[in-house]
Amino acid sequence: AARGRTPPSSLTEEHEIHRASKNTKNDSHKATEHAPRSLSSGHRRWIRWFQIQRGTTDPTSYKSLGHCFRTIFQSEGVFGFYKGILPPILAETPKRAVKFFTFEQYKKLLNLTPLSPGVALSAAGLGSGLTEALVINPFEVVKVSLQANRDSFKEQPSSFAQARRIIKSDGFGLRGLNKGLTSTLGRHGVFNMIYFGFYFNVKDAIPTNPDPTLEFLRKFTIGLLSGTISSCVNIPFDVAKSRIQGPQPVPGEIKYRTCFQTMALVYREEGYLALYKGLVPKIMRLGPGGAVMLLVYEYVSEWLQRNW
């Protein structure tokens, strides 16, 4: 009182003042340690790298893949890993169909041009990736918004309800159901360009093996490298997509607007390594997954050609 401070009228009020002071003092620490529990993700193959790609100043960020797993499991249980599962299930079949069907069509068209076979394969991959992105982006927007939902798995809205909410509030455009379209185009276009171009060019350059097992391993290894290299090259687009489609650091304030603006902002604020956040879980998913897809595609295509 002698220093001009009015004494608290009760022990309760004194406790509130002390708690408010402590909260203010530890605000940044709380944002880092506790807020990540509010964001969850994942589906049946591997946990999505979306949360790991959030900025270091973003209270919804995770420190590492292990921290991400532990936090989700401790705060929301096993079902927390399955948020946003329905959009990928609904989109996966048409997505893969579009991917391989359009690749074959673009390849046939480009074979009529003077492009070399190697360049034509990469260009066909680029075309298939861009087409795939147009199909998949609305599903991605719904999935990411569900994964960022702060409610528990049982309380979250359905995928269809979430899609209706997005359309009602923001429409179908680049601020609504097609938010982050440019980064999705870059992600899928770059990935498929390297994925198909590398696989078929390297496969044709390495002699086939008469042993079926060794031939399978040859193709699997090339497919594994294709998926891994593609993931390493296109991940900056993936980081940009996660920042744009995910929750903004400050609610009600849009920080990440466009693909290349987001990349530049991440690079300026966090360094170039921040553009490669989430690379490990992505490689774990798309390295072997990419190899399996290409092998299934090749063997099924051969079977269909022989029998149909």
Question: Residue 153 gets which letter from DSSP?
Answer: G
pTM, entire model: 0.72
Token pair in block for residue 45: 């193959």
Residue 93 lies in a domain: yes
The SS3 assignment for 21 reads helix
Q: How many CB atoms sit inside 10 A of residue 5's CB?
A: 8
* Sequence letter at residue 126: L
Residue 296 lies in a domain: yes
Residue 10 lies in a domain: no
Residue 15 lies in a domain: no
CATH number, domain at 209? 1.50.40.10
Q: Which residues contact 62 (CB under 8 A, 6 or more apart)?
A: 36, 51, 52, 54, 68, 71
Instruction: Specify the number of domains making up the chain.
Output: 1
Residue 171 lies in a domain: yes
Residue 174 lies in a domain: yes
Residue 40 lies in a domain: no
pLDDT tens by residue, the chain, 308 residues: 444 444 444 434 444 434 444 444 444 344 334 433 333 333 433 334 444 555 555 555 666 777 777 877 777 777 767 766 776 677 777 888 899 999 999 999 999 999 999 999 999 999 999 999 999 999 999 988 887 775 656 677 888 888 999 999 999 898 899 999 999 999 999 999 999 999 999 999 999 999 999 999 999 999 999 999 999 999 999 999 999 998 888 888 899 999 999 999 999 999 999 999 999 999 999 999 999 999 999 999 889 989 88
Parent domain of 207:
47-307
Cα–Cα distance, 73 to 4 (Å, whole number): 49
Tens digit of each residue's pLDDT (9 = 90 or more) over 60-99: 566 677 777 787 777 777 776 776 677 667 777 788 889 9
Residue 84 lies in a domain: yes
